[in-house]
Structure formats: structure tokens, C-alpha cells
Amino acid sequence: MKWLILGCKTNATIKLPITKYKTIMAKIKVKQVKSGIKRPQNQKRTLEALGLRKIGQVVEHDDTPNILGMINKVKHLVSTEA
């Protein structure tokens, strides 16, 4: 078994096993349906972080709380599919 060794500030080391199998995450498709022009800067950056640049562009992400929060911030600009 392989081990991942992490160092800490207190000079203690932590050994974590590295597993071969990743957890399977559900995928979610995000499509940009409206423009980011004349939108607040944080919404433009969220679209960019999601990988959306053009209207009609579709990207696929894992269904994680981080991604769902980003989608929630720009829900009026995008559509989603499971």
C-alpha cells in the first residue's frame, strides 16, 4: 500500500493511505443561455471559473457543493442538466 505523508507546523507527520479507487461523482452539464455583459464583476468571474465564455457553450462538472454554489450565483445566466 502506498502512503501519502504530510508535514504539519508542529513537526508531526500524518500518514494517509492512497487508494486506487476514486469516488464516483455525479456529473452536471451547465449551459450559458444569457450574456455576462453588463453584469457585476463577480458574476463575470463566476462564469469564467465555470469555463463558460460564449452563449450556448456547454461544460460538464462534478456535482460538488462548490460547483452548485457557483451555479446558484449565476442561475439567471445558465441552465443545467443532470
pLDDT at 82: 83
The answer to whether position 47 is within a domain reads: yes
The answer to whether position 5 is within a domain reads: no
DSSP letters along 20-65, please? SPPPPPPEEEEEE-S--TTS-HHHHHHHHHHT--STT-EEEEE--H
The answer to whether position 1 is within a domain reads: no
The answer to whether position 18 is within a domain reads: no
Write the CATH number for 53: 3.30.1390.20
Residue 17's pLDDT band, with cuts at 50, 70 and 90, is low
Q: How far is residue 24's CA from residue 42's CA, in Å, rounded to a whole number?
A: 30
The answer to whether position 34 is within a domain reads: yes
Number of structural domains found in the chain:
1
Task: For residue 76, give its domain range.
Answer: 24-81
- pLDDT (tens digit, 9 = 90+) per residue, 36-54? 999 999 999 999 999 999 9
Q: How far is residue 38's CA from residue 33's CA, in Å, rounded to a whole number?
A: 15
Residue 31's pLDDT band, with cuts at 50, 70 and 90, is very high
